[in-house]
Chains A and B, each alone.
Chain A
Amino acid sequence: MIVEHATRSSRIGVALIAIALVVLASAPYWGDRQTLRLLAEMFTFIALASLWNLLAGYAGLVSVGQQAFVGLGGYVLFALAMLLDVNPVLAIFVAGPIGALVAVPVALLIFRLRGAYFAIGTWVVAEVFRLVASQISVLGGGSGISLPASVVLAMAPSRQMRESEMYWLALLLTVVILAAIFVLLRSRHGLALTAIRDNELAAQSTGIGVWSIKFTVYVLTAFGTAMVGAFIFLQKLRISPDTAFSVNDWTAFVIFITVIGGIGRIEGPIIGTIIFFALRQSFAGLGSLYLLMMGAVAIVVMLWAPKGLWGMIVERLGWQILPLQRHLVLRKDARGKS
């Protein structure tokens, strides 16, 4: 008897993902500037939502303060690029470890709070970061600062090349983050995480070190979130405390995406991002009414389809795009020996 991950739908899924990756990677050759920008933005939201999904959907750490690490990443990039002349692309990869480093003491503090109070605790931390950022006058203080043109020009000589480079960077970042989450979930720790997702108490009683796994996931998530944050603000070229630590942009939207797509499933954030952008392209003109509608949709989904769109598909059809589930296969040649 052996344990297998793949199913027929996941084999098809993996093939489709490979095709999609080739198509997406060649986008700079077929898409215009606007398409590239939109796709890059979608990638960043897929990455942010996947990270939040790992945190809330698997590790049960419902944070409403991940904007702390998005903003931190952005500010690290600006600080490195403007004050220390570090190449901005390199700065993105430095932002990750710094995010993880900052997450260690933060986790030690807010892990003292449980459940819903933990959620608000993460928010307080994000507020502290925002207030501290607005005190740093070399980075523009409360009103924010723009990245000087020289830093941007140093990335690539022509505008076309810069656009392509940024696009590939976004794609690379998102694929790496998704791959890392996939590998983590396929590993021994992933099995433990899935057990925690399904029943924390039962997981603990089978000998899983719940605290240390949660701690590790929190720190790793901060690592990824800070990198994505650094990329986002390199794309925006301007940062201010209010945009960097915005609870709407980096938490409300991300939660909406994950809940709609399907929380606790790796495919959920991808489906959710597509729905979110489709809604945004059609209704964003409505302004605050659009946000109001989004809140209502999230409530309805949470009450009537708590596993989201992908969760419903899995329940009805048993599909999985990525081979994550474990199931036993009886092999003819192994029968009797196992």
Chain B
Amino acid sequence: MQWLNVILQGVLIGGLYAMFATGLSLIFGVMRLVNIAHGDLIVLAAYISLIATQAFGMDPLTSLLLVVPVMALIGYALQRGLLNYTLGEDLLPPLLVTFGLSIIIQNGLLELFTADSRKLQAGAIEIQTFQLAQDLWIGALPLIQFVVAVAVIAGLQLLFYRTALGRALRATSDDQAVAQLTGLDTRHIFALAMALSLAVIAVAGVFLAVRANFDPAIGPARLIFAFEAVIIGGLGSMWGTLAGGIILGVSQAIGAQIDPGWQLLAGHIVFLAILAVRPQGLFPKVSG
């Protein structure tokens, strides 16, 4: 029963990783951009939520109403004002510019908020639990987080395959030049994709901040979790990414159960093992 509990906790945290990962794979899918600052933007969302809860006395989950649009705006502006200029045949500019961005965000947050670790207080909901079976409990907050993750991914899936915007995004992903010929403004589409990506990680950032302590330096590790979930799940598949997040979450939980020092290591080892055995991931859709 103890192991079942461990696996269940891993699955629930996997939802959070899947949200990190969806944001990353979304922009990679649409414009082949890998955003090294992805993790730091997740942390930025957590700090924006911190400001909202402190300045307006909002509940962290309510602050999503503010954090999500703000992050989406930041994403749109970032893509339109900076990252669009880095896209092209050469890999280096987007990589190095987002790397520079990562350093700017980290040190900017350090300057504004110091290195102290913070946590968002969500009140009574944090300690609420349900009993599933004897000795098997499930926390309300992790459950909400997982349900939200699944809903976000389902929502994105609908948006991609059922709406005009989704069609535009897919068209741009398939062939940028042809999409442009049909009258799509790819600069705008790219900016919308980045806005969407940051909206998703805004949700993830707030849940992260409610769940555990955060400080300006934890971004890169989130980027790595996002990346591992994407590769485990297979490029281009959203439900695959959810599976990837869950596999990563469960591996970490099992690792932590064996020895607290092995939590992160276990996740990395499972990632490397999958890379060795099945480099296209478990549920691949596009090659890239």
Measured CB to CB, the residues of A under 8 A from B are 56, 60, 62, 64, 109-110, 112-117, 119-121, 123-124, 127-128, 131-132, 134-135, 142, 247-248, 252, 255, 259, 263, 288-289, 291-292, 294-296, 298-299, 302-303, 306
Contacts and interface: CB of A to CB of B under 8 A. Distances in A.
A303 B91 contact: no
Contact of B269 (A60, A112, A128): A128
The winner among A60, A113, A303 for most chain B CB atoms within 10 A is A303
20 contacts: A62-B92, A115-B34, A116-B91, A124-B224, A124-B228, A131-B261, A135-B261, A135-B262, A288-B110, A291-B106, A292-B104, A292-B111, A295-B103, A295-B107, A296-B100, A298-B100, A299-B82, A299-B96, A299-B101, A302-B100
Contacts of A248: 103
Given A112-B275, A119-B36, A124-B224, A62 B91 contact: yes
Given A60-B91, A112-B279, A259-B96, A303 B85 contact: yes
Interface in B183-227: 220-221, 223-224, 227
Given A112-B275, A288-B111, A134 B224 contact: no
Interface of B: 28, 32-34, 36, 82, 85-86, 90-97, 99-104, 106-108, 110-111, 220-221, 223-224, 227-228, 231, 261-262, 264-265, 268-269, 271-272, 275-276, 279, 288
Nearest to A247: B220
A292 to B, nearest CB: 4
Contacts of B104: 292, 295-296, 299
Nearest to B35: A116
Contacts of B93: 302-303, 306
Contacts of B223: 120
B92 A56 contact: yes
Contacts of A134: 261
B101 A109 contact: no
Nearest to B38: A120
B107 A288 contact: yes
Nearest to B96: A302
Contacts of A124: 224, 227-228, 268, 271-272
The 7 closest A-B pairs by CB, nearest first: A116-B34, A295-B103, A112-B279, A288-B107, A295-B104, A292-B107, A299-B100
B275 A109 contact: yes
Contacts of A142: 261
A18 to B, nearest CB: 33
Contacts of A247: 220
Given A252-B103, A288-B107, 16 more contacts: A115-B91, A116-B36, A116-B95, A123-B220, A124-B228, A132-B265, A134-B261, A135-B265, A288-B111, A292-B103, A295-B103, A295-B104, A298-B99, A298-B100, A299-B82, A299-B97
A116 to B, nearest CB: 3
Contacts of A288: 107-108, 110-111
A64 B99 CA distance: 9
Contact of B99 (A131, A135, A255, A296): A255
B218 to A, nearest CB: 13
The winner among B96, B221, B272 for most chain A CB atoms within 10 A is B96
A294 B103 contact: yes
A62 to B, nearest CB: 5
Contacts of A119: 34, 36, 95
Contacts of A303: 82, 85-86, 93, 97
A291 B107 contact: yes
B237 to A, nearest CB: 15
The winner among A115, A116, A119, A263 for most chain B CB atoms within 10 A is A116
Nearest to B279: A112
The winner among A255, A296, A298, A299 for most chain B CB atoms within 10 A is A299
Contacts of A263: 92
A203 B125 CA distance: 60
Contacts of B96: 62, 255, 259, 298-299, 302
A148 B108 CA distance: 39
A58 B275 CA distance: 26
Nearest to B287: A114
Contact of B224 (A114, A120, A255): A120
Given A247-B220, A263-B92, A292-B111, A120 B100 contact: no
A120 B91 CA distance: 13
A224 B91 CA distance: 25
Contacts of B92: 56, 62, 263, 302, 306
A302 B268 contact: no
Contacts of B221: 127
A291 B275 contact: no
A268 B92 CA distance: 16
Contacts of A128: 265, 268-269, 272
Nearest to A132: B265
A123 B34 contact: no
B194 to A, nearest CB: 15
Contacts of B279: 112-113
Contacts of A252: 99, 103
Nearest to B37: A295
A297 B198 CA distance: 24
B100 A295 contact: yes
A288 B111 CA distance: 6
A114 B288 contact: yes
